[in-house]
Amino acid sequence: MARAGLSPPSTPAAQARRLREQIVQADHSYYVLDSPILPDAEYDRLMRELQALEAAHAELITPDSPTQRVAGAPSREFRAARHAVPMLSLNNAFSEAEVTAFDARAREALVREGESVSEVEYACELKFDGLAVNLRYEGGELVSGATRGDGGVGEDVTANIRTIRAVPLRLAARAPALLPEVLEVRGEVMMFKREFERLNERQRAKEQREYVNPRNAAAGALRQLDSRITAERSLRFFAYGLGQLQGASEPATHAALLDWLVKLGVPVATERAVVGGVAGCLRFYQAVGERRAKLPYEIDGVVYRINSREQQQLLGYVSRAPRFAIAHKFPAQEAVTQLTGIDIQVGRTGALTPVARLAPVFVGGVTVTNATLHNEDEIRRKDVRIGDTVTVRRAGDVIPEVVAVIAERRPRNARVFKMPTQCPVCGSQVYREERESVARCTGGLICAAQRKQALLHFAGRRALDIEGLGDKVVEQLVDSGLVHTPADLFKLGMGALAGLERMADKSAANLVEAFERARSTTLERFIFALGIRHVGESTARDLARYFGKLDPIISAEEAELLQVPDVGPVVAASIAHFFAEPHNREVVEQLRAAGVHWTESEPVRKPVGRLVGKTFVITGTLPTLKREDAKSMIEAGGGKVSGSVSKKTDYVVAGEDAGSKLEKASELGVTIINEAKLQKILED
């Protein structure tokens, strides 16, 4: 992928110099400042470009080239820690062909060393996206912990390592004599996804900088000068190898080594296997790739390591990596591209989502041309502008998202995005509720983007109950242009319906009858059928009882709506916005004109019933009553049924197999009753 805004240097030497400068700058930001400026995919691309250039022009290779050493340098804020055995990195493979070539080289080298090898046995592990560390144990006691640094010298982070609960401060053994004199454990410090999300939630609450990814967060936590801060970050550790070993014999295979570490109490990932040949490696790669999104931690590939320690020693090392192991990386989950525009997508509930239009980029195994920007607040927080060069992330089946802007590449003509005040689909007013990050279209019944969902809700069993009007029928009616609003349903006859796919005459006749039955309903069902945001069955019932008629609800101000029991500011604003939209009032009139009518009554300006002010929660399976019936009986008595238990709950009605709601009720001291007690309360 070409880098936006950069022209290739004129000579190989100048190109190599430019690449080294970029890589060194990225290394410093990544390893020293804990503030990455490039996604892994872009970094890998730069490194491979430099490697190819140096391979073609050997005279360009310099001792300080990033290709000649492990990246990174110890921070001046920590004491230097020299490794007894160098901590090297792995060469990468990005395709099956490269894995096959690695295996062929290994087998050929083993044959040259006198080994008779037809198929190599490999130990397969995960390649964690964390921070490599070396833990040194002497006599079974943890004495030091250090980062990899430049491979020869790292940073002494012992105090911080000791706060990681997964790291044993003393090794386990049946007898102290069985412990090695010196054991250096190599492994990865990381942060699990859920802890990363919680950390960023706390950062947002404190209005502080959010971390880009779990690796960045783990590195920042491990390199805190105050170890108390590290302790708060819930870091994890998985071992994958050894450094120095004295006073014990190393196991014969890598798999046996990991099993030995487990016996010593050192955590090792369970996602590992021993396989035969390239085919076994690739099966492991594919299986892990399918589970990758569900893993609790981030990985960016798998590692294939020749299992036999004897064969490892025969193959040895090149300048910066072992010949007996390779990292097979997954397609990049992050890439750099240019944001060419921002469009608005209207969802089925009216939510307006800004979508980034991108210059095509290959990421996560597919070519991506657009990505979500979530909402207006996220655009402001990330300072995303049209024309920017951005980092795009795609993980598994998750919708691609713009995660960061590369501010250094911002063009002078980059434009600030503004959220529209009118729906781009139907022209209705756009509003955003207080404390919500999502802007919404108020078009509801008229907006084409919301039409299918609005019609299905309108016809639902608890709304107008139009039997036979399901997803496929609604889809055909909307796509063919026969239905634009709910009022159009009542204009359909046998001829129009019989022309639909898989709609026989009998089915069409039944649907016409269902439309006819639905013309007569109750006010509360009609209000619920309109699909006003935040207005469920209970609120629709309260509105119908309080006002008695529809027209007073349509014309009511927010202050008057707030007088209705259980209607708060958010619900009142939503109702007022809905009926303030001319399109919605027009649809109501169209429904009236189509013969849809409802029972009305005298307004009841205060709640009625013996259970007024009482809140119930129903959990588990009741002996004789369906949950829906119990709910209706409680509401008929003026009570309210909630879906969650709180201090404001008066009764929890518990049936068989009651779960967490029952436990919470016990903790809060809420009165717990069974069905018989509920019947008694209702009768009294």
Query: Alpha helices of 471-623 — where are they, by DSSP H?
Result: 471-479, 486-489, 494-498, 505-518, 523-529, 537-547, 550-555, 558-561, 569-580, 582-593
Look at residue 5 in the predicted model and tell me its pLDDT.
44
Q: Return the CATH fold of 615-683.
A: Rossmann fold (3.40.50)
SS3 454: helix
Look at residue 629 in the predicted model and tell me its pLDDT.
82
Q: Which residues pair with 80 in a beta bridge?
A: 155
C-beta separation of 89 from 68 below 8 A: no
CATH superfamily of 92-329: DNA ligase/mRNA capping enzyme (3.30.470.30)
The mean pLDDT value for 463-483 works out to 90
Residue 177 DSSP label: G
Look at residue 3 in the predicted model and tell me its pLDDT.
44
SS3 546: helix
Q: 151: alpha, beta or left, given left = phi > 0 and alpha = psi -120 to 50? A: left
Residue 170 DSSP label: B
Residues in the chain: 684
Q: Looking at the predicted structure, is the pLDDT value of residue 64 above 80? A: no
Most confident of 218-232, 462-476, 620-634: 462-476
The larger pLDDT score, comparing residue 409 to residue 204, is at 409
The mean pLDDT value for 172-186 works out to 84
Angle at 578 between CA 575 and CA 582, to 5 degrees: 145
Query: How big is the chain by its Cα radius of gyration, in Å?
Result: 33
Q: Looking at the predicted structure, is the pLDDT value of residue 7 above 60? A: no
Q: Looking at beta carbons, which pairs linking 111-115 to residues 24 or more positions away fall under 8 Å?
A: 113/314, 113/315, 115/311, 115/314
> CA 329, CA 304: separation in Å to the nearest integer?
11
Please count the CA atoms within 13 angstroms of the CA of 99 that sit on its side-chain side: 25
User: What CATH code would you report for 12-68?
Assistant: 1.10.287.610
Q: Looking at the predicted structure, is the pLDDT value of residue 27 above 90? A: no
Average pLDDT value for the chain: 87
Q: What residues are annotated to the active site?
A: 127
> CA 37, CA 28: separation in Å to the nearest integer?
10
Using the Cα atoms of residue 292, residue 296, residue 302 and residue 306 in order, give the sign of their dihedral: negative
Give the containing element (helix H, strand E) for 662. Answer: helix 660-668
C-beta separation of 269 from 238 below 8 A: yes
CATH superfamily of 430-599: 5' to 3' exonuclease, C-terminal subdomain (1.10.150.20)
- Going by pLDDT thresholds of 50, 70 and 90, the confidence category of residue 31 is low
Look at residue 4 in the predicted model and tell me its pLDDT.
45
Residues of the chain with pLDDT > 90, as a percent, come to 43
> CA 163, CA 157: separation in Å to the nearest integer?
10
Could you tell me which residues come within 8 angstroms of residue 376 by beta carbon, excluding any fewer than 6 positions away? Answer: 354, 419, 432, 437, 439
Look at residue 594 in the predicted model and tell me its pLDDT.
94
Look at residue 635 in the predicted model and tell me its pLDDT.
75
Look at residue 66 in the predicted model and tell me its pLDDT.
79
Domain positions in the chain: 12-68, 92-329, 334-416, 430-599, 615-683
Q: Copy the structure tokens of residue 438.
A: 């999502």
Please count the CA atoms within 13 angstroms of the CA of 576 that sit on its side-chain side: 16
Angle at 191 between CA 187 and CA 194, to 5 degrees: 145
CATH superfamily of 334-416: Nucleic acid-binding proteins (2.40.50.140)
User: For 379-406, what is each residue's pLDDT tens digit?
Assistant: 998 999 999 999 998 866 568 889 889 9
Residues of the chain with pLDDT > 70, as a percent, come to 94
Could you tell me which residues come within 8 angstroms of residue 671 by beta carbon, excluding any fewer than 6 positions away? Answer: 650, 651, 652
Q: Locate tokens 């404001």: which residue?
A: 648
> CA 449, CA 487: separation in Å to the nearest integer?
17
The mean pLDDT value for 515-544 works out to 92
